């Protein structure tokens, strides 16, 4: 038989040569053809519908999602009050919001806080900045110290201050979700994120008349241009300009 069997509508199967002949070599591979017509391969950037040419949708700009990138003192107080009433870990959550605001902490700096950074006798916290920022000691207020002592009395043994129910450090995503839930319960008209607490600290100090260099050191900025953002948007600078 010279040709392989080829039935109509069926795939062609090559005939195996007789053993011992020179042509008795197994085929390296058999090409499998796709019998489904007009089916394009799926790529990493493909999207359903293909309306945007296979590209992922663009992220909305911050100004389109919220009117500002900071919280007011009243909004921070609202979140802290709600955390004491409506969360599974009221003391921990209230303390995290308060300390992130009071010390201008980034969310990763907040979640990484450990007990060795706290000096109860001196009423001090050693703030360790990331992004090559300047670390510095900050004073702790009475309400912060009371919250920290309550956490210390009722928690499992851990070097970290803010932990989950399993005793592991609370993740940045966990804090972000908790903050979003509280904002929704508070009836905020816009979505919030943890970094707005750090900005709230900067604007609060600027509105209180604290000089730019002090704010720079307090927030750990290496570049003072990052600090000027708070002072140039401070409305209190213009008070009294039109007094007779």
Three-state SS string across 22-90, please? CCCCCCCCCCCCCCCCCCCCCCCCCCCCCCCCCCCCCCCCHHHHCCCCCCCHHHHHHHHHHHHHHCCCH
Lowest mean per-residue pLDDT among 6-20, 113-127, 138-152, 181-195:
6-20
Task: Name which of 87, 85, 113 is nearest 99 in CA terms.
Answer: 113
**Least confident stretch, 9-13, 133-137, 142-146, 159-163:** 9-13
**88-97: average pLDDT:** 95
Torsion angles phi and psi, residue 120, rounded to 5: -65, -35
CATH of 70-194, one of 1.10.10.1100, 3.30.465.10, 1.10.443.10, 2.40.128.520: 1.10.443.10
The DSSP letter of residue 160 is: B
- Facing residues of 137 across strands? 126
Measure the CA–CA gap between 148 and 18, rounded to whole angstroms: 85
Average pLDDT, the chain: 80
The domain ranges of the chain are 70-194
Q: pTM here? A: 0.71
Mean pLDDT of 117-136: 95
Q: In this predicted structure, what is the pLDDT of residue 242?
A: 78
Catalytic annotation, residues:
106, 131, 195, 198, 221, 230
> In this model, does residue 31 exceed pLDDT 70?
no
The predicted model gives 202-215 an average pLDDT of: 93
Residues 167, 67: contact at Cβ < 8 Å?
A: no
């Amino acid at each position: 038989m010279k040709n392989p069997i080829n039935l109509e509508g069926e795939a062609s199967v090559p005939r195996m040569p007789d053993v011992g002949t020179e042509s008795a070599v197994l085929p390296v591979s058999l090409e499998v053809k796709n019998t489904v017509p007009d089916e394009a391969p799926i790529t990493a950037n493909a999207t359903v519908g293909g309306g945007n040419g296979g590209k992922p949708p663009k992220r909305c700009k911050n100004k389109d999602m919220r009117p500002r990138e900071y919280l007011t003192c009243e909004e921070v107080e609202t979140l802290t009050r709600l955390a004491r009433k409506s969360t599974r870990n009221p003391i921990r959550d209230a303390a995290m919001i308060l300390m992130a605001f009071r010390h201008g902490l980034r969310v990763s700096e907040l979640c990484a806080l450990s007990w060795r950074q706290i000096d109860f006798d001196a009423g001090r916290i050693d703030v360790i900045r990331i992004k090559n920022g300047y670390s510095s000691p900050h004073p702790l207020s009475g309400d912060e110290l009371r919250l920290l002592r309550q956490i210390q009395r009722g928690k499992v043994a851990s070097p970290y201050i803010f932990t989950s129910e399993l005793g592991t450090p609370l993740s940045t995503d966990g804090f972000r979700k908790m903050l979003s839930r509280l904002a929704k319960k508070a009836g905020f008209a816009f979505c919030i994120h943890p970094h707005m607490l750090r900005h709230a600290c900067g604007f609060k100090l600027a509105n209180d008349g604290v000089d730019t260099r002090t704010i720079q050191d307090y927030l750990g900025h290496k570049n003072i241009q990052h600090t000027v953002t708070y002072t140039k948007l401070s409305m209190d600078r213009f008070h009294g300009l039109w007094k007779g």
